[in-house]
Structure 1
Amino acid sequence: MLFRRFSLIVYALLILIPLLVVMLTSVKTLQETFANPLAFPEGGIKFDNYIAIFQEQTMAGYFLNSTIVTLFSVTLTLLFASMIAYGITRLNSWIGNALFVLFTLGMMVPAQVIMVPLYSLMLDFGLTNSLVGLILVNISSTLPIAVFILTGFMKTLPKELFEAATIDGAGNWQMFAKVAIPLSLPSLSATAIFLFVMHWNDLLYPLLFITDNAYKTLPLALLEFQGQYSTNYPMLFTGVIIASAPMVIAYVFLQRFFVAGMTAGAVKG
């Protein structure tokens, strides 16, 4: 018991110390940071970096781009994944199993392997430097993992409920909307949080497809604070905190759904 508590304290410190350094650096000047990275800012805490990052940089536009891309990517991925997962579970034959295996194989392909053909395809369709193109790529890249998660949960739903709905005259779309979706809300919520973190933090695809400042997302915009010979750490860490804030807020308010979704279906009655 004592060793476990000691291990938890060490683990907590490993997380808290870098977090405190980031927060302290974000309220200091560049000179204060290089003079003593771990010291408190001279003259008290100042929020000049937070004001400057929105005044001098187009951070509000980057934030809006990330919000649009993330919301549309998560919503459409959940919509398509839930329909596919429902179809796989309702087919209940080798066709459903083959589709499930096909989407599972999609999880095994690293994004770096398909970067060149994917860029060529997006270029041919004129979808580079476009939020629409970025949303489409995000959906295609995370659809397999969403289908995998939701299919695993929907397979645990009682078949008797669907049989009763069929006897009452419900069609497949009615059963999907009024039976499968309401019962799958915990798993959908957990998957939504997982997808939100992936899309919000994504740097690879914006770096690959976006070169116009008007369409940059937050992770890509943070690279502007890194130069070849120097890095503006106070502004960089300020941007990191601003970019991380929505994820922290979302998890605080939705953590009960995340825990429920992760444990749903683990115990069968």
Structure 2
Amino acid sequence: MFTRRFSILIFALLIIVPLIMVVLTSMKTMRETFENPLGLPSEGLNIDNYINIFQTQTMAGYFVNSVIVTIFSVSLTLLLSCMVAFALTRLSNWISVVLFVLFTLGMMVPAQVNMVPLYNLVLQLGLTNSLLGLILVNISVTMPVAVFILTGFMKTLPKELFEASTIDGAGEWKIFTKVVIPLSLPSISATAIFLFVMHWNDLLYPLLFITDNAYKTLPLALLEFQGQYSTNYPMLFTGVMIASAPMIIAYVLLQRYFVSGMTAGAVKG
């Protein structure tokens, strides 16, 4: 018992201490950061960096771009993945097995392997330097994992529910919208948080497809505070805090569904 509590304490410190350092540094000046990196801000709760990052930087535009890309990417990925997962659940033949294996194989291909062919495809479609191109790429690369999670959950739903709905005269669309989706909300919410974190923090694809400042997302914009010879740590950590806020809010609002979604089927006999 002591060993377990000690291990949990160490793990908590490994998470809390860096977080505290980020918060404190975001309230310091460059001089304070280098003179006293581990100390408290001399002026207390100084939010000048948070004000300046929106006044002197085009951070508001980057934030809006990230919101647009993330919301559309998550929403469309969930919509398409739910439809695919439902179809794979209802089709009990070799076709569904082959399709599920293909989606599973999509999870095994590293993103770096797809960079060159994916860039050529997006370039030929004329979708570079556009939020639409970034959204379509996000959907294509995250659908496999979303389909994998949702299919695994939907297969645990009792088949008697489908049979009873069919006897009552419900079609496939009504079964999908009135039966499957409400019962799958915990798994859908857990998948939504997972996708939200992936898309919101994504740096690889914006770095690959976006060069115009008007279409930069927040993670890509944070690179502006890192120069070749020096890094503006207070402003960088301020940007990190701003970028982390939506993820924290989303988790707090959906944590009940997230936990139930992750544990769904764990005690199924």
Q: TM-score range by the shorter chain?
A: over 0.9
Spell out the pairing of 1:1-269 with structure 2 (5 A cutoff): 1-268=1-268
**Counterpart amino acid of residue 171 in structure 1:** G
Of all paired residues, the percent bearing the same amino acid is: 77
Residue 45 of structure 1, CA deviation = 2.4
- d(CA) in 1 for partners of 2:214 and 2:263? 41
- d(CA) in 2 for partners of 1:115 and 1:222? 22
- d(CA) in 2 for partners of 1:179 and 1:88? 16
- d(CA) in 2 for partners of 1:263 and 1:59? 38
- d(CA) in 1 for partners of 2:148 and 2:126? 31
Residue 196 of structure 1, CA deviation = 0.4
Deviations 1:230-263 (A, max 9, x none): 0000000000000000101111121111001111
CA RMSD of aligned residues (A): 0.8
TM-score (norm 2): 0.98
- d(CA) in 2 for partners of 1:257 and 1:182? 12
- d(CA) in 1 for partners of 2:161 and 2:240? 47
- d(CA) in 2 for partners of 1:227 and 1:182? 49
Q: SS where residue 107 of structure 1 aligns? A: helix
**Counterpart amino acid of residue 63 in structure 1:** F
- d(CA) in 2 for partners of 1:43 and 1:185? 46
**Counterpart amino acid of residue 181 in structure 2:** I
Residue 267 of structure 1, CA deviation = 2.1
Residue 42 of structure 1, CA deviation = 1.6
Deviations 1:65-90 (A, max 9, x none): 00000000000000000000000110
Q: SS where residue 108 of structure 2 aligns? A: coil
TM-score (norm 1): 0.98
Q: SS where residue 230 of structure 1 aligns? A: coil
Unaligned runs of 5+ in 1: none
Residue 15 of structure 1, CA deviation = 1.1
> How many pairs align?
269
